[in-house]
A = this chain, B = another copy of it.
Amino acid sequence: MGDKLRDDMGNHPLARTLVEQVMQAIKQRISARTLAPGAKLPSIRSFAEVMQVSKSTVVEAYDRLSAEGVILSRRGAGFFVTGQNSGHYTPLSLAEIGPKLDREVDPLWVSRQSLEAGEQYLKPGCGWMPASWMPEVPIRKALRNLSRANDAILTEYGSPLGLSELRQFLARRAATYGIEASPDQIMLAGSGTQAIDQLCRYLLEPGDCVIVDDPCYFNFHALLRAHRVKVVSVPFTPNGPDLVQFEQALKEHRPRLYITNSALHNPTGATLSPVVAHRVLKLSEQYDLTIIEDDIFADLEPEPAPRYAAFDGLDRVVHIGSFSKTLSASIRCGYIIARPEWIDGLVDLRIATSFGAGHFSAELVLSVLKDGGYRKHIEALRTRLAGVMSTTTTQLTNLGFKPWIEPRGGMFLWCELPEGVDATDLAQRALAQNVVLAPGSVFSLCKSANRFMRFNAAQAQDVRIFQTLAELL
């Protein structure tokens, strides 16, 4: 593993004594510089309250930390973090920073826990497939090819729109979903998320209103916070947004944007029906709404479902894609397909905020997409996913989870929890057992969402996950 965080928290926290847990908590705060060198430690009383332990436990922990030279006691003044020149300085170290058990469960919670957790964590809550499911052979080949490219590709900025040949490929691929676009309507971006972010910067003013699905991909919530906009959620049905409430939201809030997933909805795995798609587009026209259609799970579909962009001809719809889910999350590459007159402004914004594009990501993605092995990989992936979806459904059902629908493809199962179980609570307790879950509260601002949880079937192939769930329930 190149950059996995070694993680002292990887030890089972409950196996530690309470004193050790308090010591660990202080050390973590020092490493993360929540407590800077020289800073005063919390009082024994207040830290006992924070940690929910007795005062004598904190006293012992502080004493042992003093003995280790990590903190020092000043008579009458309290305890202080040892300074940089004392020789006992605790260097900042990633080794000390694992997933934070006490982090508030917010829309960033699953992302951070999934991205920061080391190898010893099981991640049925994360949004991607295991490395061993990805097409490593074509990627290695693409890297070797790139090592023989000319020096301009290796060292110069790419064109602002991004590699022309890849955009041509993407235009042909979009056509297979019924989306007619010229390569010059396609702009590459650093990732699917970055593509949506750039569109939001291009289209939104602070204070604007944006519609999302309830539930929706948690990072839409996180992203929209960064844009200082008002977010309105519309309940999602197995065929798309609830039309009555969608129209109500348009009337009431006059939103500028609607951000959604097509193909396979995240987290529900639902598929938009043609009737709903058509109706949403009519409403969009009536209320002057733009739709951002995030289609990053396209390759996982058994067969193409309706796309807003296909119905609408890219008039009110902007289409987003990336390769993180089926090719590699390590090669960062996403794209925007938009109406032609927006491209120039998007390019200006891209230059202003990240300057030129690189050749590497686009060349590698193109190289893999053109490789005969990639299509076979995708076909095998779909079959494999269908298999694990079925077994995971059985295992979850046996534990009392109830799938909301039976998705026609993809990796996600949106499940109602057994009676009386709170998703956030379960996720926090599972994290302490080295299992990262995705509680409903991160996908929805609605209270009842905490009766649900998203499972990634591709990441649920370890029996310890279900053992842990069974223990915790």
Contact = CB atoms under 8 A, between A and B. Distances in A.
Nearest to A97: B184
A144 to B, nearest CB: 5
A203 interface: no
B330 A153 contact: yes
A131 interface: yes
B353 A223 contact: yes
A330 B354 contact: no
26 contacts: A2-B163, A2-B165, A2-B359, A5-B164, A31-B184, A32-B344, A33-B341, A36-B340, A92-B182, A92-B185, A94-B161, A97-B184, A115-B356, A131-B156, A134-B151, A136-B154, A154-B328, A157-B324, A157-B329, A191-B355, A222-B352, A223-B353, A330-B360, A332-B357, A332-B358, A332-B360
A34 B341 contact: yes
Contact of A358 (B93, B152, B156, B361): B361
Interface string A134-166: 111001110110111111111111111111110
A156 B459 CA distance: 13
Given A159-B116, A184-B92, A344-B32, A226 B201 contact: yes
Interface in A83-109: 91-94, 97, 108
A359 to B, nearest CB: 4
Nearest to A117: B159
A31 to B, nearest CB: 8
A351 interface: yes
Contacts of A140: 147-148, 154
